[in-house]
Amino acid sequence: MENKTEFKPYIPASKVTPEITVTSIILGVLLSVIFGAANAYLGLRVGMTVSASIPAAVISMGIIRIILRRNSILENNVVQTIGSAGESLAAGAIFTLPALFLWAAEGKMDKPDIVEITLIALIGGLLGVFFMVPLRNALIVKEHGTLPYPEGTACAEVLLAGEKGGASAATVFIGMGFSAICKFIIDGLKVVSGEISGRVKGFAGEIGTQIYPAVMSVGYICGPRISSYMFAGGVLSWLVLIPLIVLFGENSILYPSVDATIGQMFAEGGAGAIWGSYIRYIGAGALAAGGIISLIKSLPLIVKTFSGAMKSMSGAGAASNERTSKDMNIKVVLIAIVVLTLLIWLIPAIPVNPIGALIIVVFGFFFATVSSRMVGLVGSSNNPVSGMAIATVLIATLILKFTGSTGIKGMVSAIAIGSIICIVSAIAGDTSQDLKTGFILGATPKKQQYGEVIGVVSAALAIGGTLFLLDKAWGFGSDALAAPQATLMKLIIEGVMGGNLPWALVFTGVFIAVVVELIGIPVLPFAIGVYLPVQLNACIMVGGLVRLVVEKITNNKKNKEAVVNEGILFSSGMIAGEGLVGILLAVFAIVGIDKVIDLSGFVSPAVSNIGGLLLFGIIILAVLKFTIFSKKMKNNEE
């Protein structure tokens, strides 16, 4: 194990180089907004987001090193610090806030104000940064060599490999452009199908795949194991549960349906109708159970983390006066936390009472500590932020109901509390990873913390507009934007407040999750698979299989890592490109341009499906081109 006292950063503490500059701020803010919007779109579609730190780092190197001809690794580090904040804030926001839009669509409340969305996101993000400041010395410095912080360490390695920055940045940009063209062909021109499905006559199950490059990229980045767990959940839903529901209940009217038999629903809407009325409640139960199970399993670590951090914090202020040890002024941080807590209570646009504000501070700091350590061990991708949000929403809803805050007022307050906690957890985890990158490189901590604040502010100002734009174009809860996590939060709150959930279906999902956990399968990805359409899971599975092929073909370990990472960069670019075109198409839908460019009337369904399959093959070949068929692979073999 490496001794933390012997660690020497890449840039010595005695050397001062540019960090926060006009260039790094402008570029970081742009990337924060871009990756925030792209990840919001992705998360609302598939219920998952991906880290933006490494793509932001390589884009930064490509622009600052290659185009601007400047060589400052710490300036690049600030760019990725600001840029990655947008992705994390978007993840926290889209897991919860769309529930407000869903209630508005049902007529239970007015549509949320953009000021309300912005303030919730801003306060949650700032609290996430400020809660992490006193923890930096305990978790990043004192536990160096103990907590690996995989994404933060990988990002530092990417920045250190500066001479490769131009090629890596080009890979990201090519992925963005390629994916943007594919997305425009599928959902803009609509000349090829974005989803292909089929079923066997006499069997109610359905199988198929989506064609979208961003969805496949999620599978490549997550890898074959996580992808297979998600696909297994989809197979259970669409090829086991749906056929059984149709078989046993064909002539029955079962709640939550009140006016049509299951047979009639299937005849009119196919397997998708059964999924929408029944399977999503089973999936919600599985997701809720999965989140709580992951939290329970982490309890020993949570207790150890929290107690250890509290003990270590007493020495946090005793750090040396070296540049690499300077944090934001702790007195200013504490005052800011108090002011933000009062604002949560006093600002009319935020529907939280004093009890809710107290819940936010207590749970916020607790989960910020937990999140910061969890990402240090297992990485941001495996950080159970949704589990923390579920636990918070459950407890907050129970407390609000017990104290008399019921009905839609209590439900809106519960989702606001859950939103802020979710954003706090996501941002605290991201801040930890970024500070780890800076620790390895020799960055000034307080400048990185200022960068996180800048990233949070810019992303918060953009997320409200993004959510309103997407909701107006397609509507949350639709096929285009399922918003699975937010729908789950909504169902939990409604169930606790009103007791009107189809509990038999929910508990079916709960015990499916328990069985999956007992046989040793990670329950959260499986539960997401149960909840989401199988076509989406299948597309993710294809991405996982492509990653598996790449790993199997490249035998040399060092070569394998380089080739796989090149594929991750290309996939990250594809996610960003599709997300940005998704936002553009939302604008087209609002102003009516979407109908002008729609060419679907000139293409038959059969031709559209064949075109979709051909395009899917091209997407797969494009990923292979940047991995096993790349020049890097050939050069290394030679």
Structural domain boundaries of the chain? 1-638
pLDDT for 298 equals 64
pLDDT for 614 equals 96
Run of H or E including 207: strand 207-210
pLDDT for 26 equals 94
Higher pLDDT, 298 or 566: 566
pLDDT for 622 equals 95
Amino acid at 600: S
From CA 159, how far away is CA 57, in angstroms rounded?
Answer: 7
Pair 34, 459: CB distance under 8 Å: no
Other beta carbons less than 10 A from residue 505's beta carbon: 23
Closest to 235 (Cα-Cα) out of 537, 584, 469, 579: 537
The structure's pTM equals 0.75
pLDDT for 4 equals 43
Pairing of strands 195-198, 207-210: antiparallel
Cβ neighbours of residue 620 closer than 8 Å, sequence gap 6 or more: 216, 542, 546
Give me the helix-helix angle, 53-61 and 22-46, nearest 10°. Answer: 140
Higher pLDDT, 93 or 532: 93
Q: How confident is the model at residue 162 (pLDDT cuts 50, 70, 90)?
A: low
From CA 536, how far away is CA 510, in angstroms rounded?
Answer: 22
Closest to 25 (Cα-Cα) out of 65, 71, 85: 85
* Residues paired with residue 208 on neighbouring β-strands, in sequence order: 197
Closest to 363 (Cα-Cα) out of 346, 335, 344: 344
Buried b (16+ CB within 10 A) or exposed e, 408-442: eebbbbbbbbbbbbbbbbbbbbbbbbbbbbbbbbb
DSSP 8-state code for residue 241: I
Which two tokens mark 449?
């913390």
| Cα 94-95-98 angle, rounded to 5 deg | 55
Looking at the chain, the whole-number percentage of residues with pLDDT higher than 70 is 89
3-state secondary structure labels for all residues of 498-524: HCCCCHHHHHHHHHHHHHHHHCCCCHH
Other beta carbons less than 10 A from residue 251's beta carbon: 9
pLDDT for 309 equals 55
Cβ neighbours of residue 150 closer than 8 Å, sequence gap 6 or more: 378, 379
DSSP 8-state code for residue 91: H
pLDDT at 53 over 60: yes
Dihedral sign for Cα 486, 487, 488, 493, please: positive
Which two tokens mark 272?
């998708």
Query: Left, alpha or beta for 483 (phi > 0: left; psi -120 to 50: alpha)?
Result: left
Pair 577, 637: CB distance under 8 Å: no
DSSP 8-state code for residue 358: H
pLDDT for 3 equals 43
Phi, psi dihedrals of residue 476, rounded to the nearest 5°: -70, 145
From CA 228, how far away is CA 540, in angstroms rounded?
Answer: 9
Pair 523, 513: CB distance under 8 Å: yes
Higher pLDDT, 1 or 59: 59
Q: How far is CA 390 from the centre of its chain?
A: 15
Helix and strand element counts for the chain (H, E)? 27, 2
Q: Using CB atoms within 10 Å of the CB of residue 2, give its burial: 0 to 12 exposed, 13 to 18 middle, 19+ buried.
A: exposed
pLDDT at 136 over 80: yes
| pLDDT, tens only, 619-635 | 999 999 988 887 655 55
pLDDT at 307 over 70: no
| pLDDT, tens only, 483-518 | 877 887 888 888 888 777 788 888 999 999 999 999
Closest to 94 (Cα-Cα) out of 37, 18, 139, 143: 37
Q: What is the distance in angstroms between the CA of the first residue and the CA of the last residue of the chain?
A: 35
From CA 364, how far away is CA 342, in angstroms rounded?
Answer: 14
From CA 147, how far away is CA 180, in angstroms rounded?
Answer: 38
Q: How confident is the model at residue 119 (pLDDT cuts 50, 70, 90)?
A: very high
pLDDT for 483 equals 86
Which two tokens mark 356?
């809710």
Mean pLDDT score, 431-446: 92
From CA 207, how far away is CA 211, in angstroms rounded?
Answer: 14
Phi, psi dihedrals of residue 43, rounded to the nearest 5°: -65, -35
Q: How confident is the model at residue 343 (pLDDT cuts 50, 70, 90)?
A: very high
pLDDT for 2 equals 42
pLDDT for 340 equals 95
Amino acid at 638: E
Phi, psi dihedrals of residue 111, rounded to the nearest 5°: -60, 140
Mean pLDDT score, 468-481: 86
Say which range, 73-77, 255-259, 384-388, has the weakest mean pLDDT.
384-388
Amino acid at 52: A
Higher pLDDT, 32 or 371: 32
Alpha helix (H) residue ranges in 442-502: 445-473, 484-498
Give me the helix-helix angle, 150-160 and 53-61, nearest 10°. Answer: 10
Q: How far is CA 160 from the centre of its chain?
A: 26
pLDDT for 631 equals 62
pLDDT for 182 equals 95
Looking up tokens 């992951």, which residue turns up?
Answer: 294
Q: What is the mean pLDDT of the chain?
A: 84
Cis peptide leading into 256, omega within 30 of 0?
A: yes
From CA 497, how far away is CA 410, in angstroms rounded?
Answer: 8
Closest to 373 (Cα-Cα) out of 287, 308, 327, 285: 308
Which two tokens mark 466?
């993004």
Mean pLDDT score, 123-134: 93
Give me the helix-helix angle, 385-402 and 280-297, nearest 10°. Answer: 100
Question: How many residues appear in the chain?
Answer: 638
Closest to 198 (Cα-Cα) out of 605, 483, 623, 615: 605
Closest to 351 (Cα-Cα) out of 123, 128, 131, 129: 123
Cβ neighbours of residue 578 closer than 8 Å, sequence gap 6 or more: 38, 41, 42, 179, 180, 182, 183, 212, 213, 214
